[in-house]
Amino acid sequence: MRSIAGWTLNFEMFFYAIFALSLLLSGRYRAILVFSVLTSLVMIGQVFSSSNPVMITYTSPLLLEFALGCLLGLIYQYQLLPRPSLGVTLCILGVVLLCVAGTDSAADLSFRRLLYWGAPSVLIVAGFVSLEPTARDNRLLSLLGAASYSIYLTHSLSLAALKSLVFALGLQNYQFVPSIFVVAGFVGSAVIGICA
């Protein structure tokens, strides 16, 4: 069976290739190099438009989400994460922002995606990472961590099933549905990923 999430592997392998090259440098410069390469490629894509699929892919603004991950890595490395009590707030704020963005914005690969999905995702990850010292023995979080790759592989199927249910029930035109869809998508994807 072909993975629906397969297209994201192109971005991930590209990121890992750049990161592998950064291993030639001292540890303190690695994230800065990767961040610089990714943001430079996005700028190149904005200056030189192309219809070449490879050029479009590897200069996509989507690379900035990986660059945000590098910044988060630096924040972690230099122990600049917020205290755990603020971590919960960051997680909640991130989820609220995703709910506000709604599901239609997920397919947007322009710079708006960084605002709709990238920034809220960074808030959620930063929140959970800042909670790590107080949540190391949390069984649910350990279970989610252990199932993360399974969740990644199955989440698109979970979301497709949820979307079919929304349409089958005739709920697609209600204003509150995108927010509920985001939350139900999180929970449903986690449950199916854990069970898979």
Q: What is the DSSP string of 117-169?
A: IIHHHHHHHHHHHHHHHHHTT-HHHHHHHHTHHHHHHHHHHHHHHHHHHHHHT
Give the DSSP letter of residue 26.
Answer: -
Query: What is the sign of the dihedral through the CA atoms of 103, 163, 56 and 33?
Result: positive
Which of these, 48, 70, 71, 75, lies nearest to 59 by C-alpha position?
A: 48
Looking at the structure, tell me whether residues 7 and 75 fall in a common domain. yes
Average pLDDT, the chain: 86
**Residues 176, 177, 180, 186, Cα dihedral to 10°:** -150
For residues 16 and 76, state if they share a domain: yes
- 95 and 125 share one domain: yes
- Among the candidates 36, 65, 80, a domain finishes at 80
State percent of the chain over pLDDT 90: 35
Residues 121 and 185 in one domain: no
Q: Is 172 helix (H, G, I), strand (E, B) or coil?
A: coil
| Cβ count within 10 A of residue 127 | 22
Q: What is the pLDDT of residue 127?
A: 93
Give 12's DSSP letter.
Answer: H
> Of the residues 80, 98, 115, which one is the last residue of a structural domain?
80
Q: How much is the pLDDT for 46?
A: 92
Domain of 118, in residue numbers: 82-136
Question: Is there a contact between 70 and 34 (Cβ–Cβ < 8 Å)?
Answer: yes
User: Of the residues 48, 63, 80, which one is the last residue of a structural domain?
Assistant: 80
Q: Are residues 96 and 155 in the same domain?
A: no
**Residue 45 and residue 98 in one domain:** no
Q: Is the pLDDT confidence value at 29 over 50?
A: yes
Both 122 and 181 in one domain: the answer is: no
Residues 131, 144 share a domain: no
Q: Quick one: tokens of 71? A: 């910044």
Instruction: Please say if the pLDDT value at position 18 is more than 90.
Output: yes
Share of the chain above pLDDT 70, in %: 93
| Nearest of 26, 114, 36 to residue 71 by alpha carbon | 36
Check whether residue 103 and residue 28 sit in a common domain: no
User: Based on the structure, what is the number of domains in the chain?
Assistant: 3
For residue 1, name the pLDDT band (cuts at 50, 70, 90): very low
The contacts of residue 50 (CB under 8 Å, 6+ apart) are 56, 59
| pLDDT at residue 78 tops 90 | no
Same domain as 17, residue 5? yes
Q: Please tell me the number of Cα atoms within 13 Å of 24 on its side-chain side.
A: 6
- Residue 121 confidence (pLDDT) above 50: yes
Residue 183 pLDDT level (bands cut at 50, 70, 90): confident
Higher pLDDT, 18 or 83: 18
What sign has the CA pseudo-torsion 123, 11, 114, 173?
negative
Residue 162 in this model has a pLDDT that exceeds 80:
yes
Identify the CA nearest to 64 among candidates 84, 103, 89, 36.
Answer: 36
11: burial class by Cβ within 10 Å (0-12, 13-18, 19+)? middle
Shared domain for 73 and 97, answered yes or no, is: no
pLDDT in tens, 125-161: 999 899 888 877 888 888 888 898 899 888 888 888 8
Shared-domain flag, residues 29 and 98: no
